[in-house]
Amino acid sequence: MLEQLVALQRWIYGALSADLSAFAATRDWFALAAVLPTGVLFGAVHALTPGHGKAILASYLAGSRLATLRAIAVATVLALTHVGSAVVLALLAAPLITRTLGGVGRAPSLELVSRGLLIGIGLWLILRAWRGRGHPHGEGLVVGVVAGLIPCPLTLFAMFFALSRGVPEAGLVFALAMMLGVLATLASVALATVVMRDQMLHLIERHGASLHKMTRALDFLSGLLLILLSAVEIGR
């Protein structure tokens, strides 16, 4: 499985490099537009690999009471922040990027900040479960922003490659296309999580269990998962 992921990543990075190099040589916008659907596909496939907030998103939504549309809104904010932070970082904070072979397309400083904030959110969810409080309005969007602060490595690669070829506009266009692909994957994760969560709650409710207690238990588990996932990533 690991070898397949590595091969997939190499194929995506190689194809992306070829497309950006071709545009740098020809400046043909029609040719660039023709490969943008490939950029969407790159984003969707790349988001299936680790490091794109899928586990964070699913963990939070499993303990929330967000309806389908709001869950997808959280996924949208996560995707926008995930790709947008990479674009901003590439344009304004290039010295933060690790350029070693094992860390190409990573921003350790932002990743550490994001993981620390997610641990804080996890602790808040556990405290809320213990106190039995409700879910504040807009909380999910905050989670989406915090989780998305970890920049998309593929977008960082595309932006730096485009900048090195003198075609930042092509990098931005590809970033938009890849964001749509990332969103498609994250929205699918959000939808599946909400459907499974609601089915489980309905099943438990039919057997006479307290929905309020179950919601608090999910809140606790959601917070615990956020802490564990973030701590594991910090420790790597």
Angle between helices 54-63 and 168-206 (to 10 degrees): 30
Q: Residue 161's domain spans which residues?
A: 2-235
Short-list 17, 85, 87, 53, CA closest to 183: 53
| The pLDDT of residue 187 | 96
Residue length, the chain? 236
Q: What share of the chain is helix, strand, coil (3-state, %, to 5)?
A: 80, 0, 15
228's CB contacts (< 8 A; 6+ apart) are none
CA 202 to chain centre: 29
Nearest to 104 by CA among 115, 116, 90: 90
pLDDT digits (tens, 9 = 90+) for 133-172: 555 667 888 888 888 888 888 898 899 889 888 899 999 9
Rounded to whole angstroms, the Cα distance separating 204 from 51 reads 33
Number of independent structural domains in the chain: 1
What pLDDT was estimated at residue 141?
Answer: 85
Average the pLDDT over each of 38-52, 114-128, 191-205 and give the range with the smallest value.
Answer: 114-128
pTM: 0.78
10 pLDDT band, cuts 50/70/90, is confident
Neighbours of 187 (CB within 10 A): 20
98 band by pLDDT with thresholds 50, 70 and 90? very low
What are the start-end ranges of the H helices in 93-167? 108-131, 139-148, 153-164
Q: Please state, for a pLDDT cut of 70, what percent of the chain lies above it.
A: 77
Eight-state DSSP code of residue 138: T
Residues paired with residue 106 on neighbouring β-strands, in sequence order:
98
Residue-averaged pLDDT of the chain: 80
| Angstrom distance (rounded) from CA 235 to CA 22 | 40
Show Cβ contacts of residue 162 under 8 Å, excluding neighbours closer than 6 positions. 20, 24, 168, 169, 170, 171, 172, 174
